[in-house]
Structure 1
Amino acid sequence: LLAEVFAGKDRNSLTRLALDLQGDLTSPTEGIFSFSHEFEVDPHSQYWWKVRVYTEGGKSAESEIWTFVLMNTYPRRPELIPPGRNLGNVPLKDLTLNWSSNDPDGDELVYDVYFGREPRLDEKDLLIRGTHETMVDVSLLKRLDYSTKYYWKVVAKDSYGGESTSYTESFTTQMRADLPAVTPENPRSGASDFDAGRRSLSWKTSLPLEYYPEPLYFDVYLAEGQSRHSLIGTTNSTDIVIPSLKGHTTYSWYVVVRDASGKEKKSEEWIFRTSNRAPVIDMKYPFAPPGQSSIPVTWSVVDPDGDSVTTEVFFGAEDEEPVRIASGRMTSVFLSALDEGTSYSLVIKASDNHGGEASKEMQMVPGNRAPSVAVVNPVSREGVEPSAVSFRWVGEDQDGDSISYELHLKSLDDSRVIGPIDSQERVVRDLGENEEYSWYVVATDSRGAFVRSEEAVFRTGDKSLAVVLPVSPRPGEEEVPRSHTRFIWEIDGEREGLSYRFVLANDIEMNNTVIERVLDGPDIELTQDILSNTRYFWRVDLIKDGSEIAGEIWSFETENLPPEVPRLIFPMDGASEVSTRDLTLRWEGNDPDGVIVSTKIYLRGTEFVEKEYSASESSLTIGELEPGRRYEWAVEFIDDGGKSSKSRYSSFVTGNQKPVIKLLQPSRMFLEGATTPLVVEWELDDPEGEDLEVGVYVDLAEESLGRPVAIGNNLERYVITNLISGRDYLLTIVAE
């Protein structure tokens, strides 16, 4: 016997839930079969259902339509969570009650909370009614007493009238405590090396401040030496910011703790002595213009403690030990007899009369200009996330020298010098929360010239639960591959449930978006190529529970492709009879992703002595070459990123052209009736500019060329003094 089952919330529109159900024969003698089928239902609902049974032979029977209504299931009994580990001494401050419960039907629950001094709690003890939360801050709703036993319970209710009540639990509040005893933390009593630059004092209390339901107040008194103590401030915490202290000075201090009622307790007096602080030297790089062999150098020396300072100045060439050239209380010297291009070392040493010493060394090259640097971010910002702060700046060197950087960062309790840094960006981790920081950058070129940026200020905020930290590319990284570029980051904090919005743009404002993707994992590899020799900006936003937190912006620069290999145009490889005067070499080529900033031409003769020329155009004219010589030449391009490409060497052979003789006097080639003395003058010109050996021949017309009547180098004049009257003569001038 088989069956099919129909059910639904609408009596007139039932849905078949099962077909060909096999029945179990429960009574063979009577032929009784039993069937069962389970299906999901909605709580608090009415259903209608029917069945049809049938045999394989085609017989069937159908039931009438039946109905049933699902009853409401009561909420589960609330489970109370104790308000503290020690139920016999629960602190009054921020006392909260917590519980957990749920409803089997998934109904929304509300809670009534009862709280009182008697075990049998009733309506007079109702603390809060109909709350949807599973916690309540009792200290905000009710004034609590010390050393008192309290009882509490929670009633959970659903919207269908179902409710359940927790067991009644109890706890006893803390005993009333006296004002705490105070002991010094920093500086400790008797300390002799307290940093005078530290702008705070701190102390400990015998009981934690959380133990007191009402705030406590701490009045701090400080005195220098034997002077009278004065109040320097009042605070609710266990530390306080203080005015500037003097170095190598004895101080005493104490703390008075009091409560809101006016009760107070004074601590012991503690003594400490500050350490001596060394002088601070500040100097700017002195620039000596080309051709100037002397230069003034100035600096400033400040002693934080106001001590008298003596200065020594040492100077010498880089490969020599610097010698002392001045000492005293000066703040400037005049350096002379400097050689342009030579590296010198200048050392300033400053010492105070309490043993504090400072030294500053500088490398200087006359004619070398200092680089420039300016801070970019963060500047005048509030609420900077302190876990990983991205610092950016821009710098350049007019002489094309490489630059390294130092990042100087300071707050009230934090001071860092980070470097050397070879990029213009650095991520700094673990700054203090809600602190004001100042920072600047020092840029130094490869020859020692340096400059300091303007100082910028920003303020941190609270630390986020999760922070994105870049792994690759590193902030400020250069030469990043443009194909299959991969971005990787990591999370400092809670990772569960996070997804990421990756954004890549070519502007710092992130307006010109190149790629934007939402990802489940902390990395992405681009399938498209990005532009070469281009600065890009990227960030990763955190997405959780439908909300987004914008991340920091980092930059990188893609790889710079080298220029094309120069194509040599003229003279062609293997050319002969090339002119030796004013020969113009020509070539062509360009850079695919930048600008060609320098072109070098290499020319060498048969002795392979190579000369180097520079050109700003695509041609170069060589004034003179030797005749009949084989030359080789090549061209090298250098782009704005320092990449270069060089052509192969091409060869040519210069020619040796005949000299030219131009007759000046007599003015005619045929002369009749010539008389002596006869002056003959001519002009010589050799295409290669070489010296000419000149021979002068005067022969009878019917005779062959005889012996020269004159020979000389570069000879351009001859006077004929002996001619026979009535005879024909032939004048010949030969130049070699």
Structure 2
Amino acid sequence: MFGKFKTSTLLLCSYVLILVFLSACVTPQKSGPELLEPKNNAQSVPFNNTTLLFGTPSDGEYEVIVKEADTNAEVFRQVVNGGQNISVVVPKGRLKPDTKYKWYVRRKGNDSGASSMWYFTTKKNSLPSVYGLKPDKTEGHPFGALALTWNANDPDDDTLTFVVRVFEVGKDAPVYETTSATNSAVVKDLKQLTNYRWTVEAIDPWGAKSGLSEATFKTKANEAPERIELINPRNGELNVKFNNLLLKWQGYDKDYEDLRYTVTLRTGSSSGQALLSNSTLTEFLVTGLNPDTVYTLSITAVDKYGETRTESFQFTTKVNTPPTKPELTNPANSARVNFVSAKQITFTWTNATDPDEDDVDYEFVLVSGSQIVHKRSAVLSNSYTIDVNSLLDVGKTYTWYVAAKDRHGGRTESDRFTFETYRNTPPSVPTSPYPANGARNLPNRIERFSWDCSDPDGDALKFELYIGESPDNLKLEASNLTTKTYSTSRLFDFGKTYYWKVVVSDGYNPPVEGPVWSFTITAEDRPPTAPVLSSPSNGANGISFNNITLRWRASTDKETAPDRLVYLVYFGKADNMELVATVTGKTDDEIFHTISSVAPATTYYWRVEVKDSFGNYAYSTTWSLKTKPNEAPNIPLNPNPADGSQVPVSGVPTTVTLSWDCSDPDGDSLTYEVYINTSDDFSSVTPYTTTNKSVVVQINTLGRYYWYVVAKDKHGGETKSKTWNFDVKGQ
């Protein structure tokens, strides 16, 4: 038995050793990115264009993040695709010398899949140097503009700036000083035959300065300007524009001085026109030249020592081109002009343009037959108005056109349009009445009156409607009607005959009266009893403006069953009561209708009309009510996160859901503005706006956040909560 136990123990031990050996041979699966360079806690790492090397366990997007070790301030972040031996360069200017940094790599936006945190310290800053100044110890240099160049070196590859100073030899104050971002500068306006010394000093971004490098040179003697070149137009050029001509020239001087110019333009042997005198300009816009003319341009260049050079050039302007053709627009061709209604006629046309950029004016011509009725020259706009009565006759055809003209005699005429004058005709007598003339057995409410009428001239018509119980005693029912129909809620008496007529006016002629028509109301039916309003009581005050319930006692009718009566509910302001509901099929003694969402602190009026199956109407008295003033929303409470609480997050950026409780005393639906900031100054914060009692906000940094909520109703009421805070902590 002991032997069997010993054998089993040996087998078990062997199995365990094999498992340990196999485990040692299997490469463990990497769970996160692996940092490679610079090594953790590396020293003297370059701070310009620093290369970070790492690998990731899989593809996908990763973030490389670098922060200052002491302040935790982020100085660099870049998203890259995963893989092995990935290198990322931190651009120049992101890192500082002699500073400790920490860096890591993570899955984009997810610290749970992050590498270890490694540290490195950048090298100390080194001094730049300047050498190779040119010119140095040489003579004969131009004094108008001289290029200064030099070489520079920075061991850290910093971007340098250079302070350049030029001194007259023997004097302490510089005659020129500048700061340059390149290895060159141009000094201008020196003296002739003068010795100068000049210095260059390099400064890196961290304030380190090079030694002061110095060189000398001597300027040459002054020479007169060398030549003048006419750039536009070219010397001898033909077909040159004569309006808005931009003259351009360039003077050349061996001393590279800034020259001044006197410019004269002339034709033939004339003395010409002085365009510029002693000016640094090298271009001048000239307009108003003559077409097809040879011009001589004289340009004198003078340097600072008074030496001059004069050159003359010639060019010929192009032949004049007339303006484009204007297009007539109003009145349209073959239009008819109402001699009564049109006191004036405004003629319009499209603007003509001029290929030579000349100013364009117009000549307006009005013709009757072969005779010119009216002509007006130098019309400066594209319209012209005439008085009809003083120039035109009724029943004639007129022709009109315009000519576009430039100042050089160019002229282009438009097409010719005609129009005919006529006198206004009265409207027709109203016909086709509704109700039809002599109609009988009509209900006691006639919902509309209508008629037919037209105007030969197409004038806008207005109508007056008269109604009465005698054809000799009609009373005005409605006026200023612009349509051939009239709707009314008037109730007529049973068994009576009524008379009515329509009077039409076109605004120009005397009114035209229509015939007197009649209709008779039935005597066989009686209207329903009028609805009796019950609540809210007449003149009631402080009524809720959400869900107002209007109640009235049902009407009765001898010929119509209760469920067939139709109730029309009118509601609104005194001058604008509108039909808001039609209620049918009711058999209860009391009937109601609910009005929703009206304005607070407002007086409204309401009434109820009833109609039976014969079309007869009765209506209630009109009552009023006044809604209560609006109350602002209740104060938002119960913040989440709770005031003063901590919110743990796995990393930033992230989001946090803010929520609260709030209600409105009037039952209004509310809108919320949510303000959040990393300080309690919200003056530049744009709020989140929502109709929910929660909002998801973006969190970009760890630390304390302040927030509050403003609740608003649709009537202008608003209430602000207290300011709450919470701390966002990394896990």
TM over 0.5, shorter chain: no
Please report the TM-score for the alignment, with normalisation by the length of structure 1: 0.33
Compute the TM-score of the two structures, normalised by the length of structure 2.
Answer: 0.34
